[in-house]
Amino acid sequence: MQPIALLVAEQYQDQEVWYPYYRLQEAGRRVVVIGPKRQTYPSKFGYPITAELAIADARASDYDGVIIPGGFAPDFMRREPLMAQFVREAHAQGKLIAAICHGPWLLCSAGIVRGKTVTCFVAIKDDVVNAGATYVDREVVRDGQLITSRKPEDLPAFMTTFLSALAERQPVASKVSYS
């Protein structure tokens, strides 16, 4: 099993980082926090997180999936071309990519929503539609390897869907008989 990339930048939405971070750890997954630079980022409400890795040092092939939280962070993330490139490469490699709230902004910048059905925070609905996606207002939408949600209240459905999708992709261990 490879780790899960959790992308961050300044003004991330606190719950949309910390809920997935701890939920993935509870599920036995390693989480690598990746930011534009290897530094500490303040959240929307002031709670900091430190990026373990700078995006320039991250390789999409090293991860089973990517989580993109919301808040204002995706607007900062998409200003860094390597963030969009990382998401685009992860998508091309068939990795799971999950974005919540304003997170689909980075999906739009990566050019991976055309022809997909997604949801997001209503304020960026026009952005995902203009990027070629079909918008629906649901707590979680899975379209192939893309998983999207609207807001913090959707986190339980978002993470349940992400973890189920990860489980589908994991090889079943062979049974060993010792008789």
Residue of 102, 125, 150, 151 marked catalytic:
102
CA distance 141 to 149: 6
| Strands 49-50 and 40-41, bridge-based pairing | antiparallel
Q: Residue 117, SS3?
A: strand
The rounded distance, in Å, linking the Cα atoms of 15 and 152 is 6
Q: What are the residue ranges of helices labelled H in the chain?
A: 14-26, 73-77, 81-92, 104-110, 125-130, 155-169
Distance CA 66, CA 78 (A): 15
102 catalytic residue (yes or no): yes
Q: How far is Cα 138 from Cα 125, in angstroms, rounded to an integer?
A: 12
Q: Which residues are catalytic?
A: 102
